[in-house]
C-alpha cells in the first residue's frame, strides 16, 4: 500500500495512478475518512491525556490515604466519553485501512501510459526464430504424437485446465523445473525455498492479491485458506511483520511451486493445449533489496529470466507493460514473450516486476538501514520461468517433420539422470 502521508501530500499523483491503471478506488472518500479519523484521534488523545494525569493524582491520594472521591466522580464521566470516541475511532480506522488497501501502486515514470496491452512497449527481440522446410505443427499435436500429455483424463479427474503429463512428457517437465532451479542457484546465486502451497488471507493481502482478485483464486472456505497463484505470495511474505537489518539485504530466493488460478472470466480464450491452465508449474525468483537498489535489481532479474530462454536457444521479445496492463501492486513490469514457432505467436513465459515498497508496507516488512532508520525494503519477483508456455515453445521450435522431437542439448543431462 501507499504511505497515507504521501497520499495526503500528493493526491493528484495517486489519482493519476488510479486512472492510468484502470482502477476504481475512491481516493476522495479515503481522504475524507482520513480527515475524520485524525479529528477523532485528536479528541481521543486530549481526553486520554486528562485521564492519565488525574489517574496519577488518584494514585497519589490513595497511597497517602486521602479522599479521592471527587476525582473519581469526574473521571467516571471522562471514561464514558473516551469509550464512545474509541468506538467511533475504531470504526473509522477500519474504514481507512480497507480503503487504503484498494489504492494501487503508482507506476514508475518510465512506464508507458496506456489503457491496455495493445499499448505495451516492445523493447527488443532476442534470438532467432527457427525456420522449417515443412509446415510446423502446434505443440498439442507434437505432444500427442509423442504421448507427452493426457488432457482429457486430466479433465476427467479434475476439470479442464488440469493437465496430466505422461511418461516422457512428465520427465521433460520435471527436467525443466530442475534445470531452471539449479541454473538460478548455481549461476545467479539465489537461495532455494520450498514453501506452503496454501496460504491465509493476511498473506494474500500482503502481496496485493486480496482484496481485488479473490474471484481468481481457489479458496478453501472451511479454513479460509487460498491455493497460491504464484510462489511470489508465500515467499514475499516470509518476512511479514519482521524487522530486518540492512546487513540482511539483499535477499534472493528461488522457489519451485505449482500455481493455481481459477482464470475467472477468461473461458474460451487461448485455451488450446497448455496455453492457459488452472494448475501449472513455475520457478519463481523473489528479491528483497534496499530501495536505492531496486531499479538495478529489476534489470538484473530480467536478465536472470532471459538467461534461461537463451540457454534453450529460443526466440523471444522483451515487453515493458503499459500502465493499463500493469498489475495492481506493480510499479514496473517486464514481460518475456517466447516465440511459439508452430502457432506463430508470442506467449508470455515470464513477468518480472518491481513493487517498490508497496508490498513491504502491506505485509509490514521493514529493515533498519545503516543510519538506524526504519524503512521498508523494496520487493521484486520474476518468473524464471513458467513451464507450460516454455514447453510449448520447445515442442514447436524443436520439432522434426515427422513429428518427433529434438531435445535441446542443455536439457539432455537432466533427462538422463541415472539412479
> Where on the chain is the footprint of RNA (CB under 7 A)?
4-5, 38, 41-42, 44-46, 48-49, 51-55, 58-59, 62-63, 72, 75-76, 78-79, 82-83, 90, 243, 368, 372-374
Q: Which residue's CB is nearer to RNA, number 50 or number 174?
A: 50
Instruction: Give 288's strand partners.
Output: 251, 379
Asked whether the beta carbons of 146 and 403 are under 8 A apart, the reply is: yes
Q: Which of 263, 348, 366, 375 is catalytic?
A: 348
Asked whether the beta carbons of 160 and 202 are under 8 A apart, the reply is: no
Q: Which residue's CB is nearer to RNA, number 97 or number 270?
A: 97
Residue 14, exposed/middle/buried by CB under 10 A (0-12, 13-18, 19+)?
buried
Q: Which residue's CB is nearer to RNA, number 86 or number 279?
A: 86
Kindly state the smallest distance separating residue 11's Cβ from RNA, in Å. Answer: 15
For 124, other C-beta atoms within 10 Å of its C-beta total 8
Residue 351 is a catalytic residue: yes
Residue 99 is a catalytic residue: no
Q: Which of 276, 287, 361, 362 is catalytic?
A: 276
| φ, ψ for residue 394, nearest 5 deg | -65, -45
In order of 199, 384, 385, the CA distances from 231 in angstroms are 10, 11, 12
Is the preceding peptide bond at 250 cis, omega within 30 degrees of 0? Answer: yes
Q: Which of 99, 173, 232, 261 is catalytic?
A: 261
Give the CB-side neighbour count of residue 287, counting CA atoms within 13 A.
31
Instruction: Determine the 3-state secondary structure of 370 from DSSP.
Output: coil
Asked whether the beta carbons of 388 and 332 are under 8 A apart, the reply is: no
Residue 8 is a catalytic residue: no
Instruction: Give 255's strand partners.
Output: 284
Asked whether the beta carbons of 387 and 309 are under 8 A apart, the reply is: no
In order of 43, 208, 246, 397, the CA distances from 387 in angstroms are 57, 24, 34, 15
Q: Which residue's CB is nearer to RNA, number 63 or number 124?
A: 63
Kindly state the smallest distance separating residue 40's Cβ from RNA, in Å. Answer: 10
Kindly state the smallest distance separating residue 224's Cβ from RNA, in Å. Answer: 10
Q: Which residue's CB is nearer to RNA, number 29 or number 59?
A: 59
Kindly state the smallest distance separating residue 59's Cβ from RNA, in Å. Answer: 3
Q: Which residue's CB is nearer to RNA, number 23 or number 248?
A: 248
Kindly state the smallest distance separating residue 162's Cβ from RNA, in Å. Answer: 22
Instruction: Give 258's strand partners.
Output: 281
Q: Which residue's CB is nearer to RNA, number 373 or number 418?
A: 373
Asked whether the beta carbons of 378 and 355 are under 8 A apart, the reply is: yes
Kindly state the smallest distance separating residue 259's Cβ from RNA, in Å. Answer: 23
Kindly state the smallest distance separating residue 45's Cβ from RNA, in Å. Answer: 4
The 8-class DSSP code of residue 3 comes to: -
Of all residues in the chain, what percent are helix, strand and coil, respectively (each to 5)? 45, 20, 35
Residue 276 is a catalytic residue: yes
The 8-class DSSP code of residue 331 comes to: S
Residue 362, exposed/middle/buried by CB under 10 A (0-12, 13-18, 19+)?
buried
Residue 348 is a catalytic residue: yes
Active site residues: 261, 276, 348, 351, 389
Amino acid at each position: 500500500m501507499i504511505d497515507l502521508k504521501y497520499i495526503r501530500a500528493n493526491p493528484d499523483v495517486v489519482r493519476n495512478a488510479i486512472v492510468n491503471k484502470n482502477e476504481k478506488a475512491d481516493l476522495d472518500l479515503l481522504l475524507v475518512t482520513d480527515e475524520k479519523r485524525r479529528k477523532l484521534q485528536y479528541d481521543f488523545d486530549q481526553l486520554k491525556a486528562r485521564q492519565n494525569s488525574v489517574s496519577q493524582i488518584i494514585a497519589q491520594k490513595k497511597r497517602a490515604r486521602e479522599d479521592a472521591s471527587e476525582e473519581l466522580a469526574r473521571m467516571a464521566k471522562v471514561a464514558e466519553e473516551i469509550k464512545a470516541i474509541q468506538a467511533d475511532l475504531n470504526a473509522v480506522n477500519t474504514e481507512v485501512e480497507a480503503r487504503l488497501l484498494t489504492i494501487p501502486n503508482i507506476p514508475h515514470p518510465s512506464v508507458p501510459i496506456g489503457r491496455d496491452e495493445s499499448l505495451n512497449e516492445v523493447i527488443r527481440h532476442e534470438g532467432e526464430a527457427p525456420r522449417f522446410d515443412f509446415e510446423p505443427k502446434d505443440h498439442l499435436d507434437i505432444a500427442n504424437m509423442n504421448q507427452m500429455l493426457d488432457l482429457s483424463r486430466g479433465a476427467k479427474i479434475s476439470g479442464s485446465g488440469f493437465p496430466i503429463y505422461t511418461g516422457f512428457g512428465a520427465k521433460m517437465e520435471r527436467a525443466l523445473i530442475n534445470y531452471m532451479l539449479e541454473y538460478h542457484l548455481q549461476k545467479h546465486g539465489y537461495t532455494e525455498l520450498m514453501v506452503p502451497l496454501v496460504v491465509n488471507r493476511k498473506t494474500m493481502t500482503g502481496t496485493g492479491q486480496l482484496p481485488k482478485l479473490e474471484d481468481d483464486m481457489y479458496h478453501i472456505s472451511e479454513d479460509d485458506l487460498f491455493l497460491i497463484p504464484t510462489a511470489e505470495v508465500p515467499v514475499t511474505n516470509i518476512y511479514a511483520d519482521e524487522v530486518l537489518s540492512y546487513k540482511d539485504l539483499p535477499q534472493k530466493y528461488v522457489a519451485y511451486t505449482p500455481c493455481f488460478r481459477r482464470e475467472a472470466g477468461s473461458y474460451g480464450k487461448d485455451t488450446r493445449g497448455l496455453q492457459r491452465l488452472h494448475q501449472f508449474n513455475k520457478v519463481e525468483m523473489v528479491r528483497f533489496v534496499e530501495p536505492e537498489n531496486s531499479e538495478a535489481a529489476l534489470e538484473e532479474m530480467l536478465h536472470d529470466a532471459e538467461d534461461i530462454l537463451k540457454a534453450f536457444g529460443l526466440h523471444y521479445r522483451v515487453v515493458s507493460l503499459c500502465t493499463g496492463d500493469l498489475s495492481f501492486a506493480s510499479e514496473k513490469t517486464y514481460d518475456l514473450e517466447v516465440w511459439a514457432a508452430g502457432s506463430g505467436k508470442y506467449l508470455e513465459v515470464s513477468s518480472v516486476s518491481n513493487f517498490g515498497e508497496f508490498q513491504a508496507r502491506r505485509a509490514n516488512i521493514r529493515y533498519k538501514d545503516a543510519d538506524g532508520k526504519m524503512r521498508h525494503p523494496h520487493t521484486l519477483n520474476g518468473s524464471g520461468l513458467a513451464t507450460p508456455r516454455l514447453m510449448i515453445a520447445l515442442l514447436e521450435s524443436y520439432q522434426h517433420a515427422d513429428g518427433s522431437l529434438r531435445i535441446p542439448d542443455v536439457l539432455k543431462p537432466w533427462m538422463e539422470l541415472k539412479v
